[in-house]
Chains A and B, each alone.
Chain A
């Protein structure tokens, strides 16, 4: 069937980046307010789903050539390694730590080990969501 997705495709090109930025925002907002890696990851995944809807598996694979399963594994490793930092410092597992740093442009910002854990969560959520979608919708 001949498809005509001009409106969807054009709007997707803009909306994708809005959702992407919003997911990053939610991710960092999760530091002190509702949000965090899980919601941010889901939003990112839904942005990619929107791309899949407007285009197709092949195009999206060319644009975003990620191995989503590998992404899941790397995310999990990041989260675990962060948590395992407590093994090195010999404090109870999952104990967190933070400090304030001065960055150019950003100014004084707090860096928290929970954030690195959350980056792992973000990657796992994006990876596993898209792995499932690829497995169900992709090749048999």
Chain B
């Protein structure tokens, strides 16, 4: 059991580094946004596996918070790429 968990932790960490590579290299903005979101997902999984390893549920709230922040930031950046502004002053439809 422990072995599986350890291997998964290592793999998630590798995945974060792969995503980090994508963020640095790019080449386009959407690539980076997707990679950023991927880091968020991997972080969530890491924390989940970690709380299994440590037999605690103290970290479960972290999962929710990271999830919320990753969601909002992805939406925000996506809007910026599409419209050029993050928050509109007034809707134009």
Query: When A and B assemble into the complex, do they touch directly, with CB atoms less than 8 Å apart?
Result: yes
Residues of A with Cβ closer than 8 Å to B?
A: 1-3, 8, 15, 19, 22, 26, 29, 33-35, 39, 43, 46, 49-50, 52-59, 133, 137-139
Q: Which residues of A contact B88 (CB under 8 A)?
A: 3, 56-57
Which residues on the A side are within 8 Å of B76 (C-beta)?
49, 53
Complex A-B: 22 CB contacts under 8 Å: A2-B92, A3-B88, A8-B75, A19-B68, A22-B68, A34-B58, A34-B61, A39-B65, A43-B65, A43-B68, A53-B75, A53-B76, A53-B79, A53-B87, A55-B91, A56-B90, A56-B91, A57-B87, A58-B89, A58-B90, A58-B91, A137-B87
Q: A34-B58, A34-B61, A43-B65 are in contact. Are A49 and B72 (CB under 8 A)?
A: yes
B interface vs A, CB < 8 Å?
Answer: 58, 61, 64-65, 68-69, 71-72, 75-76, 79, 83, 86-93
Contacts of B83 in A (CB 8 A): 1, 3
**What's the Cα separation between A22 and B69 when bound, in Å?**
13
Residues of A within 8 A of B61 (CB): 26, 29, 34-35
Q: Are B75 and A50 within 8 A (Cβ)? A: yes
Contact of A50 with B90 in the complex, beta carbons under 8 Å: no
Q: How far is the CB of A92 from chain B (nearest CB, A)?
A: 31
Let me know if A1 and B68 touch, CB within 8 A.
Answer: no
Contacts A43-B68, A53-B75, A137-B87; A3 near B58 (Cβ below 8 A)? no
CA–CA, A53 and B3, complex, Å: 43
Flag if A3 contacts B92 (CB, 8 Å).
yes
Q: Give A58 to B90 CA distance when docked, in angstroms.
A: 6
Cα of A39 to Cα of B61 in the assembled complex, Å: 11
Check if A57 sits within 8 Å of B90, measured CB to CB. Answer: yes
B93: which of A2, A35, A133 is its contact (CB, 8 Å)? A2
Do the beta carbons of A53 and B86 come within 8 Å of each other? yes
Q: A1-B83, A53-B79 are in contact. Are A46 and B72 (CB under 8 A)?
A: yes
CA–CA, A39 to B64, complex, Å? 12
- Whole-angstrom distance between the Cβ of A12 and the nearest chain B Cβ: 9
Set of chain B residues within 8 Å of A52, measured between Cβ atoms: 87
